[in-house]
Amino acid sequence: MKKSRRQFIKTSAVTGIGLAVAPTITFGKIPGPKKLRVGFIGTGARGLAHVRDALSRKDIEVTAICDINPEMLAQAKQYIAKAGQKQAKEYGKNEYDYRNLLDDKNVDAVIISTPWLWHTPMSVDAMKAGKYAGVEVSAAMTLQECWDLVNAHEETGTHLMILENVNYRRDVMAVLNMVKRGLFGELLHFRGGYQHDLREVIFNNGEQRYGGGILFGEKAKSEAQWRTLHSLKKNADLYPTHGLGPLAVYADINRGNRFTSLTSNATKARGIKNYIVKNAGNDHPSAQLDWKLGDIVTSTIETAMGETIILTHDCNVARPYSLGFRVQGVNGITEFDYYNSRVYIDGKSEAHKWDEAQKWFDKYDHPLWKKYENEAKGSGHGGMDYFVLNAFVESAKQNIAPPLDVYDAAAWSAVTPLSERSIENNGMPQDFPDFTRGKWIKRKPFNWLNDKF
Ligand SMILES: NC(=O)c1ccc[n+]([C@@H]2O[C@H](COP(=O)([O-])OP(=O)(O)OC[C@H]3O[C@@H](n4cnc5c(N)ncnc54)[C@H](O)[C@@H]3O)[C@@H](O)[C@H]2O)c1
């Protein structure tokens, strides 16, 4: 249901937020739209995928695009032309030109797909400008940034969605269906993580995104321009949300549950240096750098409801892709992946034997996937990108809180700074901030079994 200004102020009074800033609350900027007018900030690899998916929907008009790289802006224009749609207004004269896009009256909502360090400043500015904001993962890199997101939302009443597409993967949603229907019983333990050899992404030859080569920094292309530097400077779980997002939703985090503490440990760092030596020799200057990121970072998170989560970041050594999910309750367990998935449900599976997962995942196929399977065909990452965009658009059209909201963005992204601090301190436990300021106790879980978004 659409939340009126009055209802918001009522809620704010109960929860003790917002009243001091009530005059600046912006509402109703999104006209009960026929079409949601969306601006895209960042039209690199990911932003272009969002533009392409947006152009295939009848309820979106791509009214503005912004990128400081003219080549990427030109590609977005080509997509729009190919789709036979009216050209969007262009921004990108400098790093802050996105603020002019945010002033654009023809933009109701924005999708931010820029390098990580831009996510929070751009999201905060978007909320302040009253634009319904969708931000790519992760949403923030420091605890202060996590709070900045929450504060901007509470002060402005404008919503932010973290665009975590893995939450909408078909098997992830089938397991969600099973979790919410209680098949695993009371939940105890989860595992997941980002386990993806990214070395061909964070290094290239400056001409092609995956062209081989060992360039990084200004002259490199796409993520090698900016992502690699994080591995040079930081020892932390740099990319927690693909693994954590689904698990957080299973565990009702921020809605009756919350993360309470985290410990992290890192292995030695070998993968990046080995890659450079193999491709450019031991004498290459990049091989002499002190790459900080441990090859495998393992964090254990505790929740208020007594569950544990083991989260892994493993992106710099040779290995096949896997998010390595495990969900375990008192009545059952699943371990699932693209290639190897299994389920055991006590009393339904043969004692001590795994079932092949597909029969369970077919039976508990999520209503959204059943309904929109055809629409999702052809959209990115096996279709899950269709659903994350759909959730964003349906929430923005009604100007309601999205399913993956600002509190989720803050709590999931906080793993990066907390893990960095824990690793620095020999695995010392770090308290998780309660970004809901106590509201997690009463916040109701989102209705994840709906068939709309
Ligand atoms: N959810 C997913 O599956 C998924 C997949 C890939 C990337 N991502 C995330 O998406 C984001 C973007 O990644 P990418 O692969 O597209 O990177 P990219 O480097 O290809 O694209 C980033 C774009 O942002 C532009 N940019 C940088 N600063 C800007 C500014 N101040 N104003 C306007 N434009 C600016 C760059 O010119 C570039 O074109 C990252 O956060 C990444 O982690 C998510």
- Please report which helix (H) or strand (E) contains residue 129, including its range: none
* Cβ-contact 416, 264 below 8 angstroms: no
Contact 240 CB / ligand 1 (< 6 Å): no
- According to CATH, where is 3.30.360.10 located in the chain? 167-369+406-441
Q: How far apart are the CA of 227 and the centre of ligand 1, in A? A: 10
Check: pTM over 0.75? Answer yes or no.
yes
Q: How many CA atoms lie within 13 A of 106 on its CB side?
A: 12
Query: What's the topology of domain 167-369+406-441?
Result: Dihydrodipicolinate Reductase; domain 2 (3.30.360)
pLDDT in tens, the chain (453 residues): 333 333 333 333 333 333 333 323 333 444 454 799 999 999 999 999 999 999 999 999 999 999 999 999 999 999 999 999 999 999 999 999 999 999 999 999 999 999 999 999 999 999 999 999 999 999 999 999 999 999 999 999 999 999 999 999 999 999 999 999 999 999 999 999 999 999 999 999 999 998 799 999 999 999 999 999 999 999 999 999 999 999 999 999 999 999 999 999 999 999 999 999 999 999 999 999 999 999 999 999 999 999 999 999 999 999 999 999 999 999 999 999 988 999 999 999 999 999 999 999 999 999 999 999 999 998 989 999 999 999 999 999 999 999 999 999 999 999 999 999 999 999 999 999 999 999 999 999 999 998 889
d(CA 28, CA 358): 44
Q: Mind listing the pLDDT tens digit for each residue in 228-254?
A: 999 999 999 999 999 999 999 999 999
User: Would you put residue 368 in left (φ > 0), alpha (ψ -120 to 50) or beta?
Assistant: alpha
Q: How far apart are the CA of 91 and the centre of ligand 1, in A? A: 15
Query: What's the topology of domain 5-165?
Result: Rossmann fold (3.40.50)
* Cβ-contact 190, 251 below 8 angstroms: yes
DSSP state of 291: -
Number of neighbouring beta carbons within 10 Å of residue 15: 15
Ligand 1, atom 40: closest residue by C-alpha = 115
Q: How far apart are the CA of 139 and the centre of ligand 1, in A? A: 12
Contact 115 CB / ligand 1 (< 6 Å): yes
Q: How far apart are the CA of 50 and the centre of ligand 1, in A? A: 11
Mutation choice for ligand 1 from 50, 67, 124, CB with most ligand atoms inside 8 A: 67
- According to CATH, where is 3.40.50.720 located in the chain? 5-165
Q: How far apart are the CA of 48 and the centre of ligand 1, in A? A: 9
